[in-house]
Structure 1
Amino acid sequence: MYPRPASFRRILLFQILLLSVPILLVGQYITLRKARTSLLETARQNLISSAMRKSDTLALGLASLRSSVLTLTQTTVLQTGNVAEAQRALAALDRRLPFWVDCVQLWPAQGNAAVVDTCEPLPPAAALPVWPAVATADSANDFSLTALPTVDQPTEASVNPAYLTVRMAAPVYTPAGQLRYTLRLQARLSQRQNAAPRSLVGYTVIVDDSGRILMHPDAQQRGQNIDQVRDAERLNSIVGNVQAGNSEALHLFNFDPASDEWIAGYSGLEVEVAPGDRRLWTVLAVTPLDHSLQALRDIRQILLVLTLGLLFANALLALYVARRLSLPIEHLSCHAQQIQDHSQIRETPQDFKIRELDHLSQVLTCMMKRLEERAQELHHAWQDAQLANQLKSEFLANTSHELRTPLNAIIGCIRLVRDGCCDDRAEELEFLERADQAAIHLLKIINDILDIAKIESGTLTLSLEPVELGAILKEALALQTLQIEQKGLSLIAPTLSQPIWIKGDRNKLKQVLLNILYNAVKFTEEGTITLQVDFIAAAAIALDSASPPAEMAVEEADPTHVRIRVQDTGIGIDPNNQKKLFRPFVMVDGSTTRRFEGTGLGLAISKNLVELMNGQITLVSAGVGKGTTVQIILPLLVEPDAAHPLKNSQPSATQTVEATTVGSYPPL
């Protein structure tokens, strides 16, 4: 007995449903996980920003409080007025200050009772600070700040944890410089907080430098040390991260019984409690995890409805497709059953409205053409891969040679010194100096390899900021002056009469200039190295970069770019090989590279660095033995606050800065 085979329609229907249902369920699960991850990341970032805003608001409030108290101590009423006048002036504080004043005390320099007192009796910890009896140069700015947890506040403030209570005291000196009063003010600084569902402002939690909790949504934990509360380990971790200068987010699991898990964004706040005495507080913005994921419930409901609708539509589609595909096959089967012998062979019906069978030959022909095209593409790709492999093999061979040479020098010099083969201390220092130079050369090769690796992976980033080009040129020339003198070359460099401001990365731009100057010195045995700096307009950039400045036709009135030319009288380059120099792992001549050392990565790295600074770099040579010219074009900084580098005193757009021949020291 064999089971009855299933029909084509049943197989097709169940295959579609069995495939679609798991895909929909997996898609729903992945979507929910992705939405939860995105919502959590958004909540973390928003809470970090909220903590920073809370920290900034508190810093502004403390600065305003300190400024108000110090200004108050300089008033004539307190310095020379009587007690009644001082009491009236202090009673009007609430109408002038941007914070809530709980109470004010005015203590005389000598005496145990305040002449003006609107506060409840303060505990012994609230003792007055000691001020100098005679004012010094800094006495006018003396103050003392003390923060209080919410539990120490009056009843009105205790029911609202969005206030931080602080006490500030400052001395009041007479115009003659004698200590007259001590002014102490207790005020509340407001903190915006909202932990409602979907809100990412969060509750405010403040921990001072001693670990005492100043603000907390749970009244029982206010005033306690973080070592004594729930989640002490994670709170200590947050305080440690703040002390390390980090502002991040962390999950808390025992923060408050109202919710199992909380998200806390935190930031640091430097508070000056006395002149020169700064303390680091930790400011947190915390909210329950359920409130941060409130939108996930709506997403889950929408996905559920969408999934049910897709399942229903998928079932209808499966029924339609199964019928649409099975009918032609059944019709062909019936047609075949009607044929009994060759005399009954009839033309196969062509009214199925399925063009695939009619165009099968045409499709196969097109497929063969496409396969032939793909074969040619694979052949070209194989050739490119072979060329790339050859280039990298040459690069590795040259690089291994360049790495072995300084390593052998380092090992040899160190072993000579270690084995005591030197005659005196001077010879030891000479070998150590050689080892140091070889190590620096080796480090440069490794840095070039790391830079080109970052460039190829797209991870190299620059820090663009306003920099002065003349200072960078001066530093680069200073580093190459010794090599130029040792080879007996002449250096022609410009004298810049004013600063040239551009926007770029100072270190990377200096690296580019050093690479260009180093190549010019390395490949020049005799003659001159000329450095030119001139200004061009945007219209001139599209012209031939090999043209001298006098031939540049510029229509614009003001220059927009600065051009740096480094020209040498060295070995030159064949024009057919010049475009290869800016490609990584490509060298014009391996023998030349071996003769003059180097890995051939300098120009490739320089080109990428200049382009990241929105500039251009080109290389021109008339041929072998005819020298080389490297040109760098960078945009000028046009921000109005960039010292106006081009205003009024700038030469015309194509005027070359006058050059002078220099000896041992560059003129820039």
Structure 2
Amino acid sequence: MVKPGQSSFRRILLSRILLLSVPVLLLGEYVTYRKARSSLLETARQNLTESAIRKGESIEASIQALQANLLTASETAVLKSGSPQESQAFVERLAEQLPTKVQCVQLRDLNNDRIIASSCGDRPLGSIETSWWSHSPDASSNPISKVRVTTFLPEEDPPNTGTDLISGEPVNEGQLRLRLYAPVYASDRYLYAPDTPGTPDYALTIESRLGQRASDRRFEPGSLTGYTVVIDQNGTILEHANDPDRVGRNIKQEKDAKRLESIVRNAISGRQDFLHLFGLDKAGVELICGYTAITSPLSHGGGEQKWIILAVTPLDSALAGLKQIQQVLFTLILGLLAANLLATLYLTRDLALPIEKLQDYALNIQCRSTSDRVPHNLRIREFNRLAEALDVMVDRLKAWAEELESAWKEAKAANQLKNEFLATISHELRTPLNAIIGCIRLVRDDCCDDRDEEIEFLQRADDAAIHLLNIINDILDISKIEAGTLSVLIEPVDVNKIIQEVIDIQEEPIQQKGLKLTVTESTEPLTIEADPAKLKQVLINLIGNAIKFTDTGTISISTRKETAQTHNGDDLADGSKSSRVVISIQDTGIGIAPDQQQKLFQPFVMVDGTKTRKHGGTGLGLAISRNLIELMGGAIALSSPGIGQGTTVEISLPLLDIWSEGEDRPQDGLDSPELRTMSGVRPEES
């Protein structure tokens, strides 16, 4: 009869298979998705870092080209002559012919700060200080070093200058703004007197904006080049190709100030890496960037300054290919789930049908309404064998029922015998006890005629008491055989001598098995407090175990002295610590599983307790050894890394203090052997 809350085997099997397989499929899909995402991010990391390096190299190359072209132009005779018409024509041609696009080229007279020629109207390009070139040129230095390079921020632009005066295109779009100044001398006096200090007469200036404009930025899906962001060493944003409004701001004002400061520190220290950002774009989307550092081309600031170059792209752009992967994984998981459901339905039907047939057979047997044999055409070998086993089991149950009836009769007879035994023992105990009580009461109540009759009654009581004592002694002897009694006689023992005696005894079985025995003795004599016979018995048992459970390899025996704390973990009262001798027996035998090691010190416990075990034994050896060692004031421990990795047994016993001549030895009871006893298993039973 089906109880409420129960379900069929087929339904349970179906639910369990789905419960296990569906999460595994989903987990596999998730892991695949995460792996694909990680691969795309790793590709973005490498490409953006390389893009930042290329952008930095491009900026350096562009500035160097501008410096070289500006220096070459400053040496032309047309500019040195100071003719406004010729200089204006030269400046306009220079603005058009420079390989790097510029917004303005301008020639200024340093004596009166007048603009002689300009390609962008009358707007002066910054302020010029004649002290920049007041020293004498150094012939050994790089000529390009005479070119003064500065940068300027949007707030430094005059009003209504947001378009290029040459092309009419917008210029204030987050690009890197540079001004380069080169000195122009009106005469050749430095050719004849190069050591004579002086200042130039004119200054040739170029204003240029490097990088891609924000209006030209297009984030192609999967693009990993990124737009450019330039930050100086002080944290000022010099270029932002995607958000011009951020140019001139310090990174401390940004939402990701800590991350940006970390980028600046890492780049200055020479690292070229990759980082996620969340607040460097006006859209507020998550960004990823690669970064590097280049030497600042500016001619001021003191020391070697750095510019940090960032290649930035939105995370969605870097993970553009992930959407296609998601679609493929979604289609794949739907197909796998459908296939898994069909396979599970087919599997549960094949597995549940034989069990259902066996269930019907078992119910018919329970109701005793059929004599048919169990069906054997179940198409599954294990179920067919189960059906055969059921037939055999039914036959055996019938036979066992007859045996149980016979055993019940035997048990009934045994119970009768037990009652008879208890009755007999009760009678044997009660009879002498009644005799003792009766005789003593007769004497006590003065019922005897004379002294001789009193003595006779007392003798009868004495005989009955002796008889009762013998019965009790017999019962106690049986109890002692079951429980046993251990006793040890403590005296000074030479450890090395005892070990050598045991090795002499075990030498023959070691040679028979072809094992290698290594003995490492202490360099100093070791005398302990122990019972030599019992210690010898323990060592014989432990070394015998090592031989028995080691087929090939080595048995190592070593002794050492170490300082140990007292049994409760505290030092001794005088601040010293007790010295102990540790005897270690290590083998390369079959080893012991960690969960079985503590059980071995219990009586009758063995690692392999089956009737077909390879190694014999009663399981009492380690239990007896532990009781003996603890009775002698020591400890025993067993350890093994695991099956097949050998076993190590260590015995720790107190070291006997050796007193020098003329020194009084404390009366600790060891001048004569000390007898210690405890209840436990008889040693002779190991």
Normalized against structure 2, the TM-score is what?
0.46
User: Looking at CA atoms only, which structure, 1 or 2, has the larger radius of gyration?
Assistant: 2
Normalized against structure 1, the TM-score is what?
0.47
